[in-house]
Amino acid sequence: MFGLIYSIVSYVAFLASFVYFAWFTDGIGVPRTVDSGMASSPLVAYLVDGGLVLLFGLQHSIMARASFKRVVTRVIPAALERSTFVLASSVVLTLLMWLWQPLPGVLWHVDNGGVAGVLWAINAIGWAGVPLVTFLIDHFHLVGLKQAFGAFRRTSFESKGFVTPLLYRYIRHPMMSALLLGLWVTPHMTVGHLLLTLGMTVYIVIGVHYEERSLVAELGVAYERYMAVTPRFVPLATRSAKTDVPASYRPAR
């Protein structure tokens, strides 16, 4: 029972921190945003903010590695490993928002109401797309609830394995593409917002690189063929002739 409650708490923390992060980044609807708070000197702000983004990237990258999972599952049940990752990610993201130092210089601001409305609509699609895309593959597995529920019921769930539903047939990482839309597409961009966006973008590119190396090692030629015919983030790249790719792909993280 404890494991199931733990996974539910982790899931709620994930939902709360992610939704707040979207509003924090957009600077709307919440008391603390990327541009609010006590301003430090620019040098201190760059160092603190850069360190927070680095901490976020390291936490995600280290805890995603198979070697770390082997170590941590010696201490906690394997069924709670994913929930622990989700909870740790939520804590680090909350810490980032709490300690973030504003750099409020405006880089661009769109005054035209119609253009701004279109940008906000794309922005909303991006943020909403991040959790929605997970339902195309296995949402409750990705957030750790399925594993914890299976342990509680003393049953196991069959993995979906390598599947490419809907958006995954056109881009390999639609979740990351949606997140990039939410970060970049905005009618109001400040220096601090840009620093956060650039840092997260660098993390996404590096993280996806190592994730795909792991997937190739795990899935072999099937994933290599999938990579050969499917763009990474933008469905505009020219696709080569279709290869025999299994209906396939659930991201490791």
Reported as a pLDDT band with limits 50, 70 and 90, residue 239 is: low
* Structure-model confidence comparison of residues 88 and 238, the more confident one: 88
Domain boundaries, the chain: 2-229
| The pLDDT of residue 251 is above 50 | no
Residue 236 makes CB contacts below 8 A (sequence gap 6+) with none
How far apart are alpha carbons 179 and 103 in whole angstroms? 22
Angle (nearest 5°) at CA 49 between 191 and 213: 105
SS3 content of the chain, % helix, strand, coil (to 5): 65, 5, 30
Is the pLDDT confidence value at 206 over 50?
yes
pLDDT of residue 243: 42
Q: Give the pLDDT band of residue 157 (cuts 50, 70, 90).
A: low
Dihedral angle at the C-alpha atoms of 194, 195, 200, 202, nearest 10 degrees? Answer: 100
pLDDT at 38 over 80: no
Q: Distance (Å, rounded) from C-alpha 242 to C-alpha 118?
A: 35
Banded model confidence at residue 250, pLDDT cuts 50, 70, 90: very low
- The closest alpha carbon to 185, from 90, 81, 108, 86, belongs to 108
Paired tokens of 60: 């995600």
111: which 2 tokens? Answer: 């005054």
Give the residue-averaged pLDDT of 141-158.
Answer: 82
Asked if residue 253 has pLDDT above 60, the reply is no
How do residues 39-69 score in pLDDT, each as one tens digit?
Answer: 779 999 999 999 999 999 999 999 988 889 9
Mean pLDDT, rounded, of the chain: 89
The answer on pLDDT for 148 being more than 60 is yes
- Helix or strand holding residue 218 (H, E): helix 191-219
